[in-house]
């Protein structure tokens, strides 16, 4: 074939911290991870734009599926790569994110539609949100996610700087390898 033009499409990345905190370290970490994909079209979501009433069967029967939940599912559908940095409360998802996740699954059970997903977690403590990361690694594929990699950053305040990124050399090396593997998963060879 004779191609006169070669047009490269920018990869569409959706990134968010699974937290409703105004000063979310997980949103900051998701944003940092997304910045590693230099040639991508990145959208950073603020989950404060997706607040929902607590899901109950009675409420769902009364109001149906809120537009905000549908909008969130549509955002997931638009992305080629979804970067989620999970905030951990008592070893699991935050109540607000779990509620959004539950509403989204009622709108569309297979909400990730075989999308590639990079899972992250960070926390002030030494475990770095590892429990919530493990829960998501098991749960999200049930909803269609193809987990491309996962990474936990412990002791966020000690190991991360807005200016320099990940400070600990060993953690930074591990993170960079995961990013490289994700990028490789999108490489198309002719």
User: Which domains does the chain carry?
Assistant: 12-181 (3.40.50.360)
Measuring CA to CA, which residue among 139, 137, 69, 148 is closest to residue 115? 148
Query: Which pLDDT value is given to residue 187?
Result: 64
Rounded to an integer, what is the distance from CA 181 to the centroid of its chain? Answer: 16
Structure tokens, 127: 């475990």
Q: Are 135 and 93 in contact (CB under 8 A)?
A: yes
Predicted pLDDT of residue 8: 53
pLDDT digits (tens, 9 = 90+) for 159-175: 999 999 999 999 999 99
pLDDT in tens, 19-42: 999 999 999 999 999 999 998 999
Instruction: Report pLDDT for 10.
Output: 86
The whole-number average pLDDT for the span 138-152 is: 97
Q: What average pLDDT does the segment 92-119 reach? A: 96
Judge whether residue 2 has pLDDT over 70: no
Q: Are 110 and 140 in contact (CB under 8 A)?
A: no
Q: What is the CA radius of gyration of the chain?
A: 17
| Residue of 127, 125, 122 lying closest to 83 (CA atoms) | 122
């Amino acid at each position: 074939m004779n191609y006169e033009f070669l047009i490269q499409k920018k990869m569409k990345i959706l990134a968010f911290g699974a937290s409703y905190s105004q000063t979310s370290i997980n949103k900051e970490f998701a944003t940092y991870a997304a910045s590693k994909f230099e040639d991508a079209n990145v959208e950073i979501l603020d989950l404060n734009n997706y607040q929902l009433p607590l899901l109950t069967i009675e409420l769902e029967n009364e109001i149906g599926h809120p537009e905000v939940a549908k909008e969130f599912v549509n955002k997931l559908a638009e992305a080629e790569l979804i970067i989620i940095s999970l905030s951990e409360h008592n070893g699991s998802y935050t109540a607000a994110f779990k509620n959004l996740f539950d509403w989204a699954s009622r709108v569309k059970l297979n909400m990730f539609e075989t999308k590639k997903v990079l899972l992250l977690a960070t926390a002030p403590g030494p475990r770095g949100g590892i429990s919530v990361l493990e829960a998501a690694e098991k749960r999200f594929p049930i909803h269609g996610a193809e987990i491309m990699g996962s990474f936990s950053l412990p002791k966020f305040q000690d190991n991360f700087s807005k200016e320099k990124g990940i400070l600990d050399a060993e953690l930074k090396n591990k993170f960079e390898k995961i990013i490289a593997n994700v990028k490789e998963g999108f490489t198309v060879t002719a």
